[in-house]
Structure 1
Amino acid sequence: MAVSDESRPGEGMAENGKFARDRARVMSGFWPKLRRLAARLPFLDELVAAYYCALDPATPFKVRAVLMGALAYFVMPVDLIPDFIAALGFADDATVLYGAVKTVAQHITAAHREKAAAAIEKLRG
């Protein structure tokens, strides 16, 4: 029988550390920020698919940790290039997300993308 990622030695400690902080930041700030900025985000589909993949308990812990870090960076109120700067404001967010998604792309499933599409449709009303 396979051992789940959460039960491997050391994984629980990561869950209680940076991953837990990133997850808390994402859970509190993702949707409010997304609602404000959705119309201006060229990477909206990937962002929301990454969100659903990161929350999926079937996704391996290391994949969730990579995505949660990228999502937490998106949510942070202050980052390398402030979001209010026209044309460049999301360049750093897009770069971080692109790197994370490229690293774990095989784990973002059709189901994650379908949930993302439904959420985006609902968001746009």
Structure 2
Amino acid sequence: MAQKSGFDFFGFGSKPGNESEVREKFWRTAKKAARQIPFMEEVVAAYYCAMDKKTPLRAKGTLLAALGYFVLPTDVIPDFIFGLGFTDDIAVLTAAITTVSAHITPAHRLAARQAIADKS
């Protein structure tokens, strides 16, 4: 199920198959990580920032790289290891979000709060 966000997918027009696949992987991983990542709302806001066509390309690239690392099940510390699995993801996401925080807008944060409420 694709999340309706109001943001253009990567700013390159709509590609329904790719968009729904990316969104599905993101939300599946986000649900698994929600209890282990204390700043999940900020991660979801970063997701919406990366999807926003108004976000500068460099910021998108930084966020997409971090979010890609987040959704990959095989990384430095595999996500299935309870208690440790998302620690490397947290480090990568924290660095990316800190780097591009000026581009994460109140609209992205609002969309994140609404999406998390809808997913709960």
Structure 1 length-normalised TM: 0.74
Pairs aligned (count): 103
Counterpart mapping for 1:1-125 below 5 A = 26-124=22-120
Which of structure 1's runs of 4+ aligned residues deviate more than 6 A? none
- Give per-residue Cα distances to partners, 1:51-81, cap 9 Å, x unaligned: 0000000000110110000000000010111
Larger Rg: 1
Structure 2, unaligned runs of 5 or more: 1-11, 13-18
Take 2:82 and 2:40, find their aligned partners in 1: how far apart are those partners?
17
Give 1 or 2: higher helix fraction. Answer: 1
Contact 1:48 1:116 in 2 (8 A): yes
State how far apart, in whole Å, the 2-side matches of 1:120 and 1:109 are: 17
Aligned-partner SS, 2:79? coil
Partner of residue 6, structure 1: none
Tell me the amino acid that sits aligned with residue 108 of structure 2: H
State the AA in 2 paired with 1:80. Answer: V
How many percent of aligned residue pairs carry the same amino acid?
Answer: 48
TM-score (structure 2 length as normaliser): 0.77
Contact 2:55 2:103 in 1 (8 A): yes
